[in-house]
């Protein structure tokens, strides 16, 4: 019988990425699946703090094993921006086009385009919190390429590849992505 595990999100892209990694040992539930309509505010100043806010909210309210994540893009030439503000970098939460426009405008003329995607997962498991991190290094392209994925995927080219995340299949992206690496660590912990 598979164990139930709540992912503190309703982002179907994230859910699909995790489902591809988590296997049949777990039944993955979204916030919708447990009837949670709370607006969980990410008020932390780090990825870890925001991930913990989500997982602790769900665990404290529903007493279910769960995990929350926070991810973002860190660009060296911008001092680590957009960082924890990645989803709302241009002002409106989830406006991917405006966020990419702002990054590309700020990097205009920059030769240093190194960046990384980072994910931190906070897992509440049997009453204890466990933290897992994943990251992938890459560069920011000067223009968009590809139409798969979400967020900054069309401008992020991972090291060792000649295409962006948005040009990769989900399987290709899941083999190397920041979220996949963090999820792999969590799954390894849960199945040991």
CA count, 13 A, side-chain hemisphere, 96: 12
Is the Cβ–Cβ distance between 47 and 70 less than 8 Å? yes
Is the Cβ–Cβ distance between 45 and 84 less than 8 Å? yes
Alpha carbon distances (Å) from 155 to 50, 138, 165, 185: 25, 10, 8, 26
d(CA 30, CA 12): 9
Question: 24, 70, 95, 159: which is the annotated catalytic residue?
Answer: 70
Alpha carbon distances (Å) from 63 to 2, 70, 143, 183: 18, 21, 45, 21
70 a catalytic residue: yes
Which residues are catalytically annotated? 70
């Amino acid at each position: 019988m598979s164990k139930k595990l709540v992912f503190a999100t309703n982002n179907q892209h994230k859910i699909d990425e995790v489902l591809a990694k988590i296997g049949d040992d777990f039944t993955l539930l979204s916030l919708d699946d447990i009837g949670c309509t709370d607006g969980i505010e990410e008020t932390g100043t780090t990825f870890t703090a925001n991930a913990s806010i989500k997982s602790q909210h769900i665990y404290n309210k529903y007493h279910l094993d769960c995990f929350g994540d926070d991810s973002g893009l860190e660009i060296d030439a911008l001092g680590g921006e957009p960082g924890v503000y990645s989803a709302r970098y241009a002002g409106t939460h989830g406006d991917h086009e405006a966020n990419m426009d702002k990054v590309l405008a700020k990097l205009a003329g920059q030769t240093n385009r190194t960046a990384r995607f980072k994910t931190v997962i906070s897992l509440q498991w049997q009453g204890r919190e466990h933290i897992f991190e994943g990251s992938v290094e890459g560069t920011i392209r000067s223009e968009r390429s590809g139409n798969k994925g979400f967020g900054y995927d069309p401008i992020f080219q991972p090291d060792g590849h000649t295409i962006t995340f948005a040009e990769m299949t989900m399987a290709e992206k899941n083999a190397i992505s920041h979220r996949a690496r963090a999820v792999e660590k969590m799954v390894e912990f849960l199945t040991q």
